[in-house]
Amino acid sequence: MKTRLFVACSMMALIACGPGSRGEGDGDDDDDGSGSGSSSGEMKRCNKMDIMFVVDDSPSMDLEQDNLATNFPMFASLLDNYVNADGDHIDYRVAVTTTGRDIRYTTEVPGLPTIPTDEKGANGAFRDNCDLSKRWLEPTDANMSTVLSCRAKVGDKGPSDEMPLLMPKWALADRMADGTNTGFTRDDALLAVVTLTDEDDSSTTQNDFVVRPPSSDFPVDWNPTDLVQYFDTVKGGRSRWASAVIAGDGDCSSDFGSAVDATRLKEFVNQANSQGTTQAVFSSICAGDLTIGLQQALELFQDACGGIIL
């Protein structure tokens, strides 16, 4: 959003886990049919995580993406080495998408021609680049940490209006329905979502609207409570999903750039935790060292997964 505002202002100056109910497009079970616990009926702890990274690909995010890519080998190592209380290693899947979607709108400045904008985004599709055609990574994949670090570099040519609350829903519903991301989610896996952005959320499903500076308001129609309710529905309960948000804690800056206060993303975290459990955690992107946020994310995911008995 900072890029769009800069252009407009410049012109003005010149002038949990466990078997859950399947939601829309909630993917397929494993080939082995797991999803209902142990075949013997023996109680077993959750040891599966479906982890989705939603990374800001707007023009302001290049340095933050470098930082994330640098720290992904650490994150992959922690995943590989984690063992739950039953002694099982985590069976994980990791996918990466972005905060951008295809969008059309015009900016109107009094006394000047309108500025048409037509931007293209991933629309929730998981990346399939970096010499691996599959859209998610698993423990058995060769060079997992290298490929994951490569995929974290989503670029900075995406839409300037970030929608980190809407894109997880599109990834798990729309892109499942059209076959793009089909098979990623498992009924007996914790759904874990990590968001990385230096902007607040501007989620809208609309097109062909008008923005009139100095107001930067989009016609927002997908809110924090909508995503919380969607996750509850798609996983069958609050305890079966968790989320970590790495964004601006107040208007802040670091060696990796500046960020604005992510008020809507903070509201999402608060609502996710509103039932007396900790399903979401917020950390500052301006901390500089993203190992802090990634470690907090993994600790939350481990606790959320380990607390569920299948």
Domains of the chain by residue range: 2-306
Q: Check whether 40 has a pLDDT greater than 60.
A: no
CB atoms closer than 10 angstroms to residue 18: 22
Residue 285 contacts residue 64 (beta carbons within 8 Å): yes
- Which tens digits make up the pLDDT trace of 98-147? 999 999 999 998 888 999 999 999 999 999 999 998 999 999 998 888 99
pTM to 2 decimal places? 0.84
Sole residue written with tokens 């993303």 = 265
Average pLDDT of the chain is 84
Give the Cα-Cα-Cα angle 195, 153, 143 (nearest 5 degrees): 100
- Which tens digits make up the pLDDT trace of 168-182? 999 999 999 999 999
With a CB cutoff of 8 Å and minimum separation 6, the contacts of 249 are 261, 262, 282, 283, 284, 285, 286
With a CB cutoff of 8 Å and minimum separation 6, the contacts of 250 are 261
CATH (one of 3.30.300.130, 3.40.50.410, 3.30.2130.10, 3.40.50.2300) for 2-306: 3.40.50.410
* Residue 86 banded pLDDT, cuts 50, 70, 90: confident
Phi-psi region of 37 (alpha: psi -120 to 50; beta: other; left: phi over 0): left
According to the model, what pLDDT value does residue 137 have? Answer: 94
CA distance 159 to 99: 8
With a CB cutoff of 8 Å and minimum separation 6, the contacts of 66 are 153, 256
Q: End-to-end CA distance of the chain, in Å?
A: 43
Query: What b/e string do you get for 241-260 counting C-beta neighbours within 10 Å, with b at 16 or more?
Result: bbbbbbbbbeebebebbebb
